[in-house]
């Protein structure tokens, strides 16, 4: 094995063992590995931003200046000015300068998140629930019945889940809330479906983490085995 591969594999082995040391208790070695991971990730992200975002934008800006395209140059300078104004957030006395750029950033991010949730989740889920009741569905009677059952289940689960987010209630003459047993029962069923969904998501995350842990242990065992064979 080449020396560079031995060095890189040894560093990976040491970092893996330092992370696994958290299984015993929190310790300085584990914190060092976490700080190193965060630092390397931040450095990598900064490098990608500089070389894949800032420098290409500056090249475009330089090209617009060379070609004297004033209208395009104005639209190219606006994002640059907003980005530079965000640096004012590093200084408390000048932080107000970056408020507008931060507001634009948060607003665009929220709009993208809401738009993605509506277009990518709510509308397809509603369409999937509607398709099960489409009278012109193709296929034999058995296939149509299966789609009908699937659509019914999706519709019922969606209604019960939405009912769990119903918090308003009518008022009695004395001003106290008047509970609605039907909505309360539907909300309880909806919370059950939410719990099942969260459990499935947690199981998926746990399986992914377990897969990563198995891969790391396999790396440690194979590295030690190669070194012993080499000796």
Task: Of 89-103, 177-191, 211-225, give the range with the top mean pLDDT.
Answer: 89-103
Predicted confidence (pLDDT) per residue in 51-108, tens digit: 988 888 888 878 877 777 777 777 778 888 888 888 888 888 888 888 998 999 899 9
- Take residue 96 and report the two structure tokens written for it: 């107000």
Asked whether residue 167 carries a pLDDT value surpassing 80, the answer given is no
- Quote the pLDDT of residue 42: 93
Asked whether residue 187 carries a pLDDT value surpassing 80, the answer given is yes
Asked whether residue 47 carries a pLDDT value surpassing 90, the answer given is yes
- Quote the pLDDT of residue 224: 79
Q: How far apart are alpha carbons 75 and 65 in whole angstroms?
A: 12
């Amino acid at each position: 094995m080449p020396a560079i591969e031995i060095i890189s594999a040894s560093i990976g082995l040491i970092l893996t063992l330092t992370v696994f040391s958290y299984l015993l208790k929190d310790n300085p070695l584990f914190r060092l590995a976490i700080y190193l991971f965060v630092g390397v990730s931040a450095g990598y992200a900064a490098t990608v931003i500089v070389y894949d975002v800032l420098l290409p934008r500056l090249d475009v800006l330089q090209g617009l200046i060379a070609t004297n395209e004033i209208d395009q140059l104005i639209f190219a300078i606006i994002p640059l000015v907003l980005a530079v104004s965000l640096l004012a957030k590093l200084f408390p006395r000048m932080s107000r300068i970056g408020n507008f750029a931060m507001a634009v950033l948060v607003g665009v991010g929220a709009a993208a998140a809401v738009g993605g949730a509506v277009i990518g989740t709510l509308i397809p889920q509603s369409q999937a629930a509607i398709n099960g009741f489409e009278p012109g569905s193709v296929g034999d009677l058995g296939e149509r019945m299966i789609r009908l059952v699937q659509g019914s289940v999706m519709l019922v689960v969606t209604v019960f889940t939405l009912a769990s987010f119903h918090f308003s209630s009518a008022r009695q003459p004395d001003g106290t809330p008047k509970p609605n047993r039907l909505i309360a029962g539907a909300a309880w069923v909806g919370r059950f479906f939410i719990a099942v969904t969260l459990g499935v998501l947690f199981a998926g995350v746990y399986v992914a983490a377990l897969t990563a842990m198995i891969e790391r242990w396999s790396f440690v065992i194979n590295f030690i085995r190669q070194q012993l064979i080499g000796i």
